[in-house]
Amino acid sequence: MAPKKKKSARSGKIKVKIVRRKRSSVIKKDLAAQQEAYLAKYRTTARHDLSIAAAKVSTGVPYAWRQQDPEGFGTAWHEARLVSNAVLEDAAIKRGRDGYRHPVYQRGQLAGYEQIFSDQLLTFILKGRHPEVYGRDRVSIDSKNENKNTNTHGLTVETADAIRRQVLGIKDKGDA
């Protein structure tokens, strides 16, 4: 309802006339457009802040939509989240596998580019996809109740450390 103000010529008083509009269909169309704008942006960016800006709504509105319509908007939001997770995972794999171009400057001038790879991203992805192979180091206790520190490959900590020193060319203190 939108009040319209009119000044009466006879009494000088302001009369307020209430005009009723058919807003329910307009609101539903706007709501559907806002929800789709939010979901479209969320699918590609996985960022709530950019999605609410695209939908032109406040921060809590998508949460209210999800609560009010769990089968409709709630399901669509869940699907958009799955799509955005796949987009993020693809970006992480690409950055770990293919790297990215990092500018190299010498004396304030651009000298070229260096290809930078993210081993840490690939490590996280491998640990998530194959935790039995690339999982965290853990402590296991054998049947004789003796503590035996091993990693996921079955190496003791001492053996793994010796291999690391050998690969890196680090000499033991006694070898000096």
Asked if pLDDT for residue 145 goes beyond 60, the answer is no
Model confidence pLDDT, tens digit, residues 102-132: 999 999 999 999 999 888 888 888 888 887 7
- C-alpha of 125 from chain center: 14
- C-alpha of 94 from chain center: 16
- Terminus-to-terminus CA distance in the chain, angstroms? 89
Higher pLDDT, 30 or 136: 30
Residue at 86: amino acid letter: A
Model confidence pLDDT, tens digit, residues 3-14: 555 555 566 666
Average pLDDT (94-103) is 88
Average pLDDT (162-170) is 69
Q: Which residue has the tokens 């399901």?
A: 75
Check residue 156 and report its DSSP letter: B
Average pLDDT (146-168) is 63
String of DSSP letters for 27-79:
HHHHHHHHHHHHHHHHHHH--HHHHHHHHT--TTHHHHHHHH-IIIIIHHHHH
pTM of the model: 0.53
Predicted local distance difference test score (pLDDT) of residue 125: 82
Helix locations, 98-152, DSSP H = 119-129, 131-134
Q: Domain coordinates of the chain in residue numbers?
A: 23-94, 99-133, 136-176
Asked if pLDDT for residue 101 goes beyond 70, the answer is yes
The per-residue pLDDT of the chain, averaged, comes to: 77
Which pair of structure tokens corresponds to residue 67? 């609560």
SS3 call for 116:
strand
What percent of the chain shows pLDDT beyond 70? Answer: 63
